[in-house]
Amino acid sequence: MSSPYVKLNIENQVGYIEFFHPAHNSLPGDLLAELVQLITDAGTNSEIKVIVLKSGGDRTFCAGASFKELISINDAEAGRVFFSGFANVINAMRKCPKFIIGRIQGKTVGGGVGLASATDYCMATKFAAIKLSELNVGIGPFVVGPAVQRKLGLSGMSQIAIDANSFYPAEWAKQKGLFTQVYENTEELDNAVKEFAENLCNYNEEAMAAMKTVFWHGTEDWDDLLLQRAKISGRLVLSELTKETLKRFK
């Protein structure tokens, strides 16, 4: 498995949306756009009652945005477009009328933490440590911040945003409310996700859609908010400090 992809598989009324990239499941703009479209389509697909968001491979869930694309940004508009990628996915997840279950098998960084936070119910393995590394390269988790804060609270989000060098263990994320359950390995996680998702399919779709609307109440301004946050990151990535830092990482 070496070629990037985003795909949808429907099994027992559960829509499994899976993404993969050989660079630790980092997501370039084209894959993010495909994710937006698949999530949107799954939300209106009558064959699907519940959605599971997962990534390929056994290790990293998502390493965030594509570093290759990040270091190529040369102007503010390109920066805005780049950082809008995760904003668009989070907003698609927010507006999808169906519950989205997160299946987090391993470490997740930056934008990946945003995706996990934007799910409606998130399950993980003990290997699913999280990190917001953006400050480490001279920017900040501006786009994913609202989603992460919604799950971890302001205190938890600011803690991992400021401590940009550290991975926080899955149990910490569970205690803060990001993960609902933490399992010993991927096999246990997959069995639990399958059982939970298929059980949800027995419930009233209209009731679940109404519940989701209630759960996301107060986020109606995120279409504009996240794009404004993308502009902040797009501006900061052009600073000399950030460019020098990115060169060192490269």
User: Concatenated DSSP letters for 71-116?
Assistant: TT--SHHHHHHHHHHHHHHHHHHHH-SS-EEEEE-S-EETHHHHHH
The more confidently predicted of residues 66 and 250 is: 66
Please give the pLDDT value at position 93.
98
Secondary structure element (H or E) that encloses residue 146, with its range: helix 145-162
The more confidently predicted of residues 8 and 247 is: 8
The more confidently predicted of residues 123 and 243 is: 123
- CA 78, CA 143: separation in Å to the nearest integer? 15
Q: What is the mean pLDDT of residues 107-133?
A: 98
pLDDT beyond 70 at 1: no
Q: State the sign of the Cα–Cα–Cα–Cα dihedral 76, 78, 81, 86.
A: negative
- CA 81, CA 142: separation in Å to the nearest integer? 14
pLDDT beyond 70 at 172: yes
For residue 242, name the pLDDT band (cuts at 50, 70, 90): confident
Q: What is the mean pLDDT of residues 25-46?
A: 97
pLDDT beyond 90 at 222: yes
pLDDT beyond 70 at 250: no
Please give the pLDDT value at position 2.
84
Q: Which residues of 13-52 are buried (b: 16+ CB within 10 A; e: fewer)?
A: bbbbbbbbbeebbbbbbebbebbbebbeebbeeeebbbbb
For residue 53, name the pLDDT band (cuts at 50, 70, 90): very high
Q: What is the mean pLDDT of residues 180-200?
A: 98
Backbone angles phi, psi at 17, to 5 degrees: -100, 120
Q: What is the mean pLDDT of residues 207-220?
A: 98
The more confidently predicted of residues 1 and 87 is: 87
Tokens representing residue 96 in the block = 């999808």
Give the CATH H-level superfamily of domain 5-186. Answer: 2-enoyl-CoA Hydratase; Chain A, domain 1 (3.90.226.10)
pLDDT beyond 90 at 248: no
Q: What is the mean pLDDT of residues 224-230?
A: 96
Note whether 93 and 19 are within 8 A (CB).
no
pLDDT beyond 80 at 127: yes
pLDDT beyond 90 at 249: no
Q: Give percent of the chain with pLDDT exceeding 90.
A: 88
How many whole angstroms from its chain centre is CA 33? 13
Backbone angles phi, psi at 239, to 5 degrees: -65, 155
Give the mean pLDDT of the chain. Answer: 95
Note whether 26 and 92 are within 8 A (CB).
no
Tokens representing residue 136 in the block = 């480490």
Q: What is the mean pLDDT of residues 96-110?
A: 98
pLDDT digit string (tens) for 58-81? 899 999 998 888 888 999 899 999
Note whether 1 and 31 are within 8 A (CB).
no
Q: What is the mean pLDDT of residues 11-38?
A: 97
